[in-house]
A and B are shown apart, each in its own frame.
Chain A
């Protein structure tokens, strides 16, 4: 999967590594900003109130 991606990317190895790093950071940022906040309420911890 990642090997296929690596071969499809243009440019020399340094450029490919840069593209992949930027992509990985973008995925991480999207997770921090939208995915994780959306998933967190379904996690089985962090309930602090009584009566629910």
Chain B
């Protein structure tokens, strides 16, 4: 009905046409800028989501997966004392330290979880799995800490070298900087042996410094006479610039059938 009543608009003057053309060009420009702006905002939101995933979600998934791995390891039960008539309390048995020649297991296949690590200094941290290999896709990002292939196994002569994330992916070595000389690092293998190491030193090195995981740290090629442990993780946090290194030496070992190391019972 309106089309019948409207009159044909008067032809635009040249000036008006130019004005209309300019405003159309301006609309297009604003439209392009608007789309670019929306794309940038979207990119920002996605970057924020990536941070959320990397800094939070990988920890959520990693903690759950690593707890499951530890729970499913074929550990034999560690004995606990039964309450006696004389009134001795029930509870864990302290394993007597043994300082004779420790048993050493053979290196397992890649990505096999063969041990756990517990660090009393990191109170509140769960028992963490240690698996064979140190590449991120198959071990460090999915299984937790990883054993450098070719380095000594727990209790062995040489250097039992382990890498772990300090941030993200459940960050097993997050609190590495809290360690002090003399702190126990308790390793438990699937051969049901405890190995209690003690921290001897920490250092910060370049990523290329493979000498820290040599059988004799800092002296590649030397014949090892000590049973050492070395932890490597990133430093500073959220950076790949350097590596934080913890060295330790075996204090004693004990079969898990003898009990639990005093270090895990708040004893030392």
Interface magnitude class on chain B:
35 or more
Residue numbers in A under 8 Å from B108 (CB-CB) = none
Residue numbers in A under 8 Å from B38 (CB-CB) = 1-2
Whether A10 sits at the interface, judged by CB under 8 Å, is no
Give CA–CA (A1, B94) in the complex, Å.
68
Interface magnitude class on chain A:
20 to 34
Partner of B212, one of A1, A44, A45, A50: A50
A residues apposed to B, CB below 8 Å: 1-3, 28, 31-32, 36, 39-41, 43-52
Q: Is the CB of B148 within 8 A of A49?
A: yes
B residues apposed to A, CB below 8 Å: 34-35, 38-39, 46, 49-50, 53-54, 57, 134, 136-137, 140-141, 146, 148, 163-169, 173, 205, 207-210, 212-213, 232-234, 238-240, 243, 245
Q: Could you pull out 26 A-B pairs where Cβ atoms are within 8 angstroms?
A: A1-B34, A1-B38, A3-B34, A31-B49, A32-B57, A36-B50, A36-B53, A36-B54, A41-B137, A43-B54, A45-B167, A45-B238, A46-B167, A47-B234, A48-B140, A48-B165, A48-B166, A49-B134, A49-B146, A49-B232, A50-B210, A50-B212, A50-B213, A50-B232, A50-B243, A51-B210
* Closest 7 pairs (CB-CB, A-B): A51-B210, A47-B240, A49-B163, A36-B53, A1-B38, A48-B233, A1-B35
Given A1-B39, A36-B54, A46-B167, 12 extra CB contacts under 8 A = A1-B34, A1-B38, A28-B49, A31-B46, A40-B141, A47-B240, A48-B164, A48-B173, A48-B234, A50-B212, A50-B243, A52-B207
